[in-house]
């Protein structure tokens, strides 16, 4: 049995609104209100190595888009006792700018994403305004280069990264959005939903997020996540929800005092 530890690092924040975040929010007949959105990347550690799930946005892209930010993986990992060179694989859950921004910090890691996601973002459709708004072309170019260098693993359906770390393609939010299921040392499972689930309310109140590629696919992804959440000792981790920091315990080893406020231990659900 794999013994993985799983951390969420909150590296950014913005105040948005319900109307901006939920698809056709007026359908629900509720007043609009402010909504906090957090930005995370995730770290999976086992005996054998470190797997990074997404890389956050690049600081300059965050500035341009007026998001607050508190550090990149290369800055945050050393505070957790991890050298960036220890990262053997970087999982790219989807091609959006706030997930692909710091891939360049890991020039030796194997990159893993779905074939459908790679094919979409390297196609001419990705340049259309509704899609282009969510990606940074030079970051997609870097993926293209990684592929030419033999450093990009593409898969369809399911892929095992290492013992106890399984990726599943779900689509919906983007053409090849993936989720990661991680077996933990207590026999439980942590499901890193990334942007298949920005906010828990999407699944818990069946309310789709505003940015999407395929609405039936997004609903089916919510069904997949709900089925996973119904399994014993299985915990969903939403990709942008501040509730992650209340539903799980904070991670505060003595060595990471500086980063403790923004790191959550996903193996300790509360
Ligand atoms: Zn996204």
Q: How confident is the model at residue 252 (pLDDT cuts 50, 70, 90)?
A: confident
CA of 23 to the centre of ligand 1 (A): 14
For residue 259, pLDDT over 50 is answered with no
Query: Rounded CA gap, 265 and 6, in Å?
Result: 6
pLDDT tens digits along 97-138: 999 999 999 999 999 999 999 999 999 999 999 999 999 999
CA of 210 to the centre of ligand 1 (A): 10
Average pLDDT across the chain, whole number? 94
CA of 80 to the centre of ligand 1 (A): 26
For residue 3, pLDDT over 70 is answered with no
The confidence score (pLDDT) of residue 1 equals: 38
CA of 168 to the centre of ligand 1 (A): 16
CA of 195 to the centre of ligand 1 (A): 5
CA of 186 to the centre of ligand 1 (A): 30
Query: Above pLDDT 90, what percent of the chain?
Result: 91
The confidence score (pLDDT) of residue 185 equals: 84
Query: Rounded CA gap, 42 and 55, in Å?
Result: 8
CA of 93 to the centre of ligand 1 (A): 9
pLDDT tens digits along 140-152: 999 999 999 999 9
CA of 254 to the centre of ligand 1 (A): 33
């Amino acid at each position: 049995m794999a013994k993985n530890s799983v951390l969420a690092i909150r590296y950014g924040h913005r105040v948005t609104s319900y109307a901006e975040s939920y698809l056709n929010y007026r359908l629900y007949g509720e007043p609009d209100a402010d909504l906090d959105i957090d930005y995370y990347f995730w770290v999976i550690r086992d005996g054998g190595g470190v797997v990074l799930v997404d890389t956050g946005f690049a600081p300059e892209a965050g500035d341009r888009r007026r998001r607050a930010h508190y550090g990149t993986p290369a800055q945050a990992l050393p505070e957790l006792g991890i050298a960036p060179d220890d990262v053997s694989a970087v999982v790219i859950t989807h091609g959006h700018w706030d997930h692909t921004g710091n891939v360049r910090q890991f020039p030796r890691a194997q990159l893993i994403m779905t074939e459908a996601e790679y094919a979409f973002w390297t196609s001419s459709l990705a340049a259309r305004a509704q899609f282009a708004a969510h990606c940074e072309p030079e970051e997609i170019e870097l993926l293209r280069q990684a592929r030419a260098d033999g450093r990009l693993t593409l898969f369809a359906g399911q892929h095992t990264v290492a013992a106890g770390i399984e990726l599943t393609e779900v689509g919906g939010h983007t053409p090849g959005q993936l989720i990661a299921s991680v077996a933990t040392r207590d026999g439980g499972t942590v499901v890193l939903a990334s942007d298949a689930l920005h906010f828990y309310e999407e699944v818990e109140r069946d309310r789709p997020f505003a940015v999407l590629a395929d609405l039936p696919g997004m609903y089916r992804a919510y069904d997949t996540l709900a089925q996973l959440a119904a399994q014993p000792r299985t915990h969903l981790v939403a990709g942008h929800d501040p509730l992650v920091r209340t539903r799980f315990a904070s991670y505060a080893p003595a060595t990471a005092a500086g980063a403790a406020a923004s790191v959550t231990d996903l193996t300790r659900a509360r």
